Amino acid sequence: MAVAPTEIGRSTSRGNALALISHVRVSNAVAHFAQTLPFRVRCSDDLGVGLAWAERNVALRHRELAPDPPDWKTALRFDVDCPCDRQPHARSGYCPRAATYWRDALVAEPSFIVVNPTNGHAHYVYLLRGWIRIDGTNASELTAVRYFAAIERAYTRALRADAGYAGLVQHNPFSASYETFNGRDEPYSLRELAAFVELPPLAPRRKSEIRTDGRNVETFDRLRSWAYAQIGEYRCGPRETWDEVVAARALAIAKEVRAAHVGASHAYSDAEALDTAKSVAGWVWSRYDGGHLTRVRADEAVRRKNDRKRAVAARRARGALPRDVWLDKIQQRRIAAAKLRGLGVAVDEIARRLSAGVRSVQRWISEIGLLVRSAPSPSALSDFERPPGLKGARTSSAVLTPIPKDAVEVKPETARAASAHSEASTEVSTQSTFGTNGTDDQHPNDRGRGVRGETCPESPMAYIQRRIREITSRPP
């Protein structure tokens, strides 16, 4: 099949990113690539700055993409810079064979090829029909990962691709900065790809040879293996000493990795190695329990285990309390917080004494303040309270007595009576919450106002009905 170049990015990158798919046949591999992207993709216009997460619509407008979801492989990717070792075109710097070298290598036709027009370097992409999970734990998933790695190594040798390319980031086929060549429309299976190359019976474990999973990964694996064996010797000292030792070891490993990846397309800086060292040092110091344990490390492990047990027991004990008991304890803490605050103790100190959060203490104090503000004023008795002189009276809460049947004489309501009834309702509603207007004034015929020292022989409802009758009986 002749591979005709189609400059997809140049003709369609000005519109909506998802509208790019409409310019390609539905069965095209590039359209399949765009349709199967995750909803959020890591992307960048400058790899020196780094990758950033973005929605798929936005990511398709950038030059570089990391299309694989975390812990998954959706395609085989290869960076073919110059299979002819740059000898024929050392002066021009452009390699014309990179985009078509798969024919000379007699391997499978790529799904699509993204070429850099400035130097001719190409990214080969072989889309997979079934994605490979690289963080699997069962036997079938691990077998698929090893099969995938063996095919990747074989294609890397056949295509003379960059062995340090990890396949994480690829050129965006929709970018106007690159030229995209369409290949096979249908995705591949691993068996179909393996039919074009000769696989070794078992991939050997290599230490100093060039690896195909990237220089960062190689540095990380070698550094963590060293840290597991050495952590026991530094447990008795400070954490800073351990960080310095791991950083020095990481720089030494990075130097060896750079020497093994001389033909890499971009340099491997010490800053990347130090970032890996920081991650490894922190994880091994705080979470690694295996390997050689010193007495300090063993005692610390036992202490952490006991702390976790006590924390679990405390959570279970709190959950076993009945709701009434729990609410009573909360009320006690609320009252204690209000008392301490009344004595002038700071909120932070109250939170420390009560083992609570600052916001919880502030909420408790405000709740107590609302209850205090809503209590009746001691300067005047409420219309809805029995005077303290009556026997059997309740002073803690309002008691409403039944209305006698003869308390109100029901009459047909006229227009004037309805108006007066509305006026009475307005007058009653203007009173305070507890029936007093906040003064000690008393009308001559108002026997139910509840002034201090005077008894109120009638019930609150009887008082209201009497007031209504007095208002409605006034002459117009």
Q: Would you say residue 62 has pLDDT above 50? A: yes
Contact residues for 300 (Cβ-Cβ < 8 A; gap 6+): 235
Provide mean pLDDT across the span 226-234: 82
Split at pLDDT 50, 70, 90, the class of 368 is confident
Q: Would you say residue 228 has pLDDT above 50? A: yes
Helix (H, G, I), strand (E, B) or coil at 181: strand
Domain boundaries, the chain: 5-194, 215-297, 415-472
Per-residue model confidence (pLDDT) at position 151: 92
**Helix 358-373 and helix 323-342, axial crossing angle in degrees, nearest 10:** 80
pLDDT, tens digit, for every residue of 318-363? 777 677 887 888 888 888 998 898 888 899 999 989 888 888 898 8
Which CATH fold would you assign to the domain 215-297?
A: Endonuclease III; domain 1 (1.10.340)
Rounded Cα–Cα distance for residues 355 and 335 (Å): 15
Q: What angle do CA 105, 106, 109 make, to 5 degrees?
A: 105
Higher pLDDT, 356 or 407: 356
pLDDT, tens digit, for every residue of 263-314? 776 778 888 889 999 999 988 888 776 555 555 555 666 777 788 888 888 8
Provide mean pLDDT across the span 56-62: 91
Contact residues for 122 (Cβ-Cβ < 8 A; gap 6+): 79, 80, 98, 99, 113, 114, 115, 116
- The sheet carrying 122-133 orders its strands as 5-6, 179-182, 112-115, 122-133, 72-80
Higher pLDDT, 416 or 3: 416
DSSP strand pairing (64-66 vs 170-171): antiparallel
Here the tokens at position 202 are: 């078992």
Helix (H, G, I), strand (E, B) or coil at 128: strand
What residue type is 85 in one-letter code? D
DSSP strand pairing (64-66 vs 40-44): antiparallel
Higher pLDDT, 244 or 70: 244
Split at pLDDT 50, 70, 90, the class of 13 is very low
Per-residue model confidence (pLDDT) at position 290: 59
pLDDT, tens digit, for every residue of 171-180? 999 998 999 9
